[in-house]
Chains A and B, each alone.
Chain A
Amino acid sequence: MECGVPVIPRRRQFLLALVLTLFMQTSWADREVVLVTGKDSAVSSLGALDIRKAFLGIAVLVDGEPVRAIRRRDDVRLNEIFLQSVMAMSQKSYDRRILSLALKYGTPRPDQVDDAAELASLLERSYAGIGYMWRADAENEDRVRIIGVLWRGP
């Protein structure tokens, strides 16, 4: 021992690094943003363009019914990922686009919720609702079904 700092043997260092790496990989796998719908919903899958349309309020029909998109406003990081990876717009552009479509065509503005549980509750009651969650939240919520991956962490 030098300078009072304990020295960890090389084998222990290797095992610690291995455990940390495995833990971080599990963590990264959880850092996925997924597209979810109600467990009994009519929506089975949606293309990228249809997802973007739905989150602008533009009519996308599934079994003749309009898809109802629901946004999260509680999670800043989740919202950033949604705007950058799904909508490819800044917050300002997205807000103005939604207002403009509402004013021009009466396009309904997407609903907003404050947490994953509220989203799950709305999706469960909607015939063709969609929303987005962290994968870990979606897997712990039996009222929703995952229908796509919107973003994967690095």
Chain B
Amino acid sequence: MTKLPRYPVRGSRRLAVFCALLLAVLLWAPEPVHADVEQDFLLFPSVDGFERFSDSDPANDGFSDHVMVDFLYTLNSDRFRLLAEYFWSNKESELERFQAAWLIKDATTLWAGRFHSISNYWASEFHHGVYLQTTISRPGLDQWEDDSGPMPSHITGLEFDQQFELRGGAGLRLGLVAGLAPTFAGSELVPYDLINSSSGHENAYEARLIYQPEMLSRSQVGLSAARNEIAVDSSSSPDLANLDNIRQVTVGVFIDWEWPKWHLLTNWVYFDIEMDYVGARVKDDFVLAYVQAEYDASDKWTLFARTEFGFDEDYSPYLRLLPAFVAHRHMLGARWDFADSQALTAEIADTSTQGDDFSHDNFKELRFQWSAVFP
């Protein structure tokens, strides 16, 4: 991870404050009275094969594979909860989440640590549990930071989570987050790394409100808002020369709705961005969105399709800094569930990435995946 030398004192102080807060939460948690300690361990392995075809850029065509394992460990003891998620693949490995919680009441939780951003729908819903997402690919809007995702997917700080029961079994869920935003280095956002921590991270604030017509089901409608101050490592790329800071405000609405045979998932996010260059400020705003539909053809077979699009995003100066960002994708696929907790999935897509300038790179994708969860 690139070190940012410009904010050393502030970053160290924030880390010390974070550690103190984490310690305070752990000390504040009451002693277990009845010693019912529950530990759980889940393993989400998957293997992807990816073939790319294009007319315009055959040099980048070809086959690639991706072997991944996500390890999830949880510990529950009375009102204390610990969650750790470690992701390993043949391309990277990272401590994705490490968070501790105190259950203040049965519907009120305070988390401290590194967690997935609540304004990034896909990250907060599926995390790295590939088996639980029906599709192989993630939408460009909700992509991870190191895959050219345009918004933070990891925050380190505090998260307050409150559920409200409404009449008729409906529910509201409120989430509030304050923490450290990613920095921008090279051609991607770089989240705070708990193991290899660096200074220079600015503030992130997030809020999310979810309505569930039946609070124990999956169907939900939500609003999210975030403000991220993103420090830029100007020396990490010529494209970032003279760029000091990015202020990103997002407002989103998402719907995740289940019917007996159908499932609809859509997310629309408005970006308002200010990029502070030396002596100039560049303003940018655009909308990114996707709509995904799934059809349960039988207990074992699911057919799905997704379209990803935007408004005013094609000439965005901010997205130009993310050349691998998937700007448009029209995708079809099928998934076969077998042996209780394993699945085989295939996808075909027509995709455009942002490219090095305002002209997109267009290509076709063919993906295959085996995914599972154990035990």
Contacts and interface: CB of A to CB of B under 8 A. Distances in A.
Nearest to A59: B106
A103 B72 contact: yes
Interface string A65-80: 1101000000000000
Interface stretch (A5-13, A22-30, A48-56): A48-56
A108 interface: yes
Main secondary structure of the interface of B (DSSP, over half): mixed
B312 interface: no
A106 to B, nearest CB: 4
Interface in B41-93: 42, 72, 74-76, 78-79, 81-83
A108 B36 CA distance: 12
* Most chain B beta carbons < 10 A, residue from A59, A100, A106, A127: A106
Contacts of B127: 103-104
Contact of A108 (B40, B101, B169): B40
B305 interface: no
Given A104-B124, A108-B38, A97 B76 contact: no
Size bracket of the A interface: 20 to 34
Contacts of A61: 103, 105-106
B105 A68 contact: no
B339 interface: no
B42 A127 contact: no
Interface in B212-271: 216-218
Contacts of B99: 106
Given A99-B373, A103-B42, A108 B74 contact: yes
Contacts of A65: 33-34, 36, 78
A66 B78 contact: yes
A60 interface: yes
A46 interface: no
Contacts of A64: 33, 79
Contact of B103 (A59, A103, A127): A59
B215 to A, nearest CB: 8
Interface residues of B, number: 40
Interface in A88-108: 92-93, 95-97, 99-100, 102-108
A97 B218 contact: yes
Nearest to A92: B299
Interface string B260-285: 00000000000000000000000000
B74 A106 contact: yes
Contacts of A59: 103, 106-107
B371 to A, nearest CB: 12
A127 B38 CA distance: 14
* Most chain B beta carbons < 10 A, residue from A52, A66, A68, A100: A66
A135 interface: no
B40 A109 contact: yes
B124 A52 contact: no
Contacts of A95: 340-341
A79 B125 CA distance: 28
Contacts of B31: none
A56 B216 contact: yes
Given A66-B103, A103-B129, 10 more contacts: A49-B165, A49-B169, A56-B216, A59-B103, A65-B36, A66-B106, A100-B129, A103-B42, A104-B127, A106-B81
Interface of B: 33-34, 36, 38, 40, 42, 72, 74-76, 78-79, 81-83, 99, 101, 103, 105-107, 109, 124-127, 129, 131-132, 161, 165, 169, 216-218, 299, 337, 340-341, 373
Closest 6 CB pairs of A and B: A106-B83, A106-B74, A127-B34, A61-B106, A108-B38, A59-B106
